[in-house]
Amino acid sequence: MEKNREIRGQSEREPLLQQDQPPAVQPTDEDDKMFWWQKIQGYQLYALFLFLITYLLNQLDRYMLAITIKPMSQELKFGDMGCMIGSNYSDAVAGSAKCGDALSQTECLAKTYGNGSEARYVCNWDYNGQGFQYQIVAGPVFIVIYTFAGIFISFAADKYNRKVMLASCLILWSVMTLLTGFIKEYWQLVLLRFGLGFGEAGCTPFVASMLADIYPTELRGTALGIYNWGIYMGYSLSYALGNLITAANINDQGWRWSFFISGMPGILIGILILLTLKEPERKNASKEATQAQQGDQSLNSTVSESKLKRLGKILKPFLAPSLILAVLAGSIRNAAGYVFAYNTQPYFTGIGQSKEDIAKYMGWIPIVGGSLGVAVGGFISDRVVKGRGIYARVAVVIASLLIAAPFAAGTLFLSPPYAYICQIPTYLFGEMWIGITLAVVVELIPSNIRTSAVAVYLFIISNIGGNMPLLVPPIQKGFENQGFTKSGSLRGALYILYPGLYVVGAVLFVPAMFLLKRDQVKLKEAEYVKMQTSQTSIADGDKNS
């Protein structure tokens, strides 16, 4: 007993070093005086640059379909049909002829521009890039495989060479994008979209795992923040590249070259990752991953059992009413983003905007507005939450969504360029929810299951949000049955599913805000009881010894 106390006392004064491990390198005074940017090495910056480009290509290839859908549907002949100005006429002619007001093919083809002998038939009845067939490949075909594959790929990140897996996924989805430029039938687009979702599912899990091992703790947040810029950079670039390349009509192949040009860089970057990046040493490998790497097969049944129990622990927090409401509210807000992202191009072309006009504005607004929105939202919520608790974060989300909703409606109500200008505050305030909601989920879940719980959270909001665009065609059809034009019907559907979902999300966050405050108190009490029980057990052990 005395010997045990002596050892325990020594451990409190001076930790014992294991004989098979070298002493840890203690930080020097010079290290403490260094600024954070002085601690970054060249290789770390190089790896982060490759990861940023990878995520940019991820978003670029994902949204290229939304940008090129109109000429693609006209060539492949799928989706809905509508009345539109002929390609040989100017926007001034289109405004005078009002082709979009025609409700039938007969009415469309009868519209003229000019009077008397100078009158010309200027409208065509053709595929407009809208409808259920478009929404199914934009949403469910991609999202379902993307989210389900992401779960299994996340497990693979703990077991296999992440550099090789990341490069393989990048090359796979880039090849899918490249092959899209060669398709001749709609079913080929469905298959390639399915493959795109499978490949892109491996981007963030592998990158996040590698960044955590490449960067020290105090720089990981910054590194992940820079990596996430790829979302807005790729989305904006899809408008600029997709519209301008299609308009250039290279080799008389129009939209096809948008996929050729956006797909080829990923193959080269994938090869560069394979040749120049190193598989970083795992600093936080899980117990299961370590056993798998060592080839220990004797604990298979125990590991399987523990995984089932762990799954139950991961899902249990999501049964709390507060978290159910918070996740549902986040899913609704996410749905609004998906709906508008996949219908921005069809909407603006439907009201007579040219590809060049759309590229001129949407080629930079998402980058500036979205990036600032995420950064400002996190900063404000961190300031507000001090001394007020977790519910203050949700209050920031509610306020930001209610501020953004009128500007989102203004995008649909006003004519260009004011419609585009309204997108700036919409992005600035409307994108605040991303980091804040994730912070709320993390703060309410025990630390030992947070990583897996975040994966579950992303799985839920991606499936609900990604499949919401399927509601656009039936709502649009309902407006058409009431006598609205094609463009007016799409505007009506977007009013409901874009600013409308902003408001619905804000309303759902209100009860969640009060319930979250209650749950946070319960979580702290449970942790306190657990700590007290642990200390009691230690004290009892000392008495028995």
- Reduced to 3 states (helix: H, G, I; strand: E, B; else coil), residue 139 is coil
pLDDT band at 315 (very low <50, low <70, confident <90, very high): confident
Confidence class for position 42, pLDDT limits 50, 70, 90: confident
pLDDT digits (tens, 9 = 90+) for 350-368: 887 888 888 889 988 988 8
SS3 113: strand
Q: What does the DSSP 8-state code read for residue 388? A: T
pLDDT tens digit sequence for 179-226: 999 999 999 999 999 999 999 988 887 887 788 778 776 676 667 777
Structure tokens at 177: 């994008």
- Average the pLDDT over 272-279 and give the result: 93
- C-alpha 386: how far from its chain's center? 28
Give the pLDDT of residue 447: 60
b/e map of 332-350 (b: 16 or more CB within 10 Å)? bbbbbbbbbbbbbbbbbbb
- Say what percent of the chain tops pLDDT 90: 33
Of the listed ranges 397-406, 419-428, 521-530, the one predicted with least confidence: 521-530
Which of 409, 402, 411 minimizes the C-alpha distance to 429? 402
SS3 state at 419: helix
Residue type for 89, please? Y
3-class secondary-structure state, position 27: coil
The label of the residue with tokens 């190193």 reads: 278
Residue 160 is classified by DSSP as S
CB under 8 Å to 318, separation ≥6 — which residues? 324, 327, 453, 456, 457, 460
What is the C-alpha to C-alpha distance for residues 437 and 393, in angstroms, rounded to an integer? 8
Residues 443/520, Cβ–Cβ less than 8 Å: yes
pLDDT at 220: 66
Say which residues have a Cβ less than 8 Å from residue 394's Cβ, sequence separation at least 6. Answer: 326, 436, 440, 509, 512, 513, 516
Binning pLDDT at 50, 70 and 90, where does residue 301 land?
Answer: very low
Q: Is 31 a residue whose pLDDT tops 70?
A: no
